Amino acid sequence: MNIVLCGMMGAGKTTVGIKISDITGMRWYDTDDLITDKYGKIADIFEYHGEARFREIETEIVHRVANENDCVISTGGGCVLRPENSAAFKEGGGKIVFLKVDIETLFARTGHTGDERPLLKNTTFEKMKDLLDYRTPIYESCADYTVDTNGKNAEEVALEIVRTFGIPLRKRP
C-alpha cells in the first residue's frame, strides 16, 4: 500500500511525507522533485512550455511511481486535479490523503513564493482563496481520508495517517 498526500501548495505534503517515511521506513517520493530531477525547474517548464505540458510531465511521473509499493508520495498541489492521476494512484494500491488547511495558514506559508510556485506568481489572498475553494471539492472527492491539519504539527498529522491505515511504526533504536 502507498500513502499519497494531496492538497494545496503549502499544506505540508512534503514535510508530512518525510515524517511518515521516517517513522515507518516507507520510501518517500515527491512528484515535484522527480519532475525537477528529470526536466529542470518547474517555473521554467511553466514559462517555456506552459501549464499543459507541465501537467503531461506530472502524469508521466505519477504513472512511474503509482505502481511502487510501500511508499509515501507527496504530490504537487494540482496533481490530483487530473482524474487519471488519482485513478493511477488508486489502481496502484494507493490511499489518497487530503491534507486540509485553512486559507490564512496557506497564505502565510506560500503567499510570498511566486518565484518557486508559478501558480502563485503575483498572487493575492483573494486569488489563493479562489484557488482553494475551487480545488477543495476535487481533493475531497478523490481522497480516501482527510486530515484537518489546522493546529497540528507534522508528527501529529503523520501519526494520524499511519494509525488510520494501520501502518506499523519502525522500531526505534
Q: What are the tens digits of pLDDT across the range 104-133?
A: 888 887 765 544 555 555 667 888 899 899
Asked if residue 153 has pLDDT above 60, the reply is yes
Q: Which three cell numbers stand for residue 52?
A: 499543459
Dist. CA 11–CA 15, nearest whole Å: 9
Cell of 100: 486540509
Question: Considering the entire predicted model, what is its pTM?
Answer: 0.90
Amino acid letter at 108? Answer: A
Q: Which domains does the chain have, with CATH numbers?
A: 2-164 (3.40.50.300)
User: For position 122, what pLDDT does the model report?
Assistant: 61
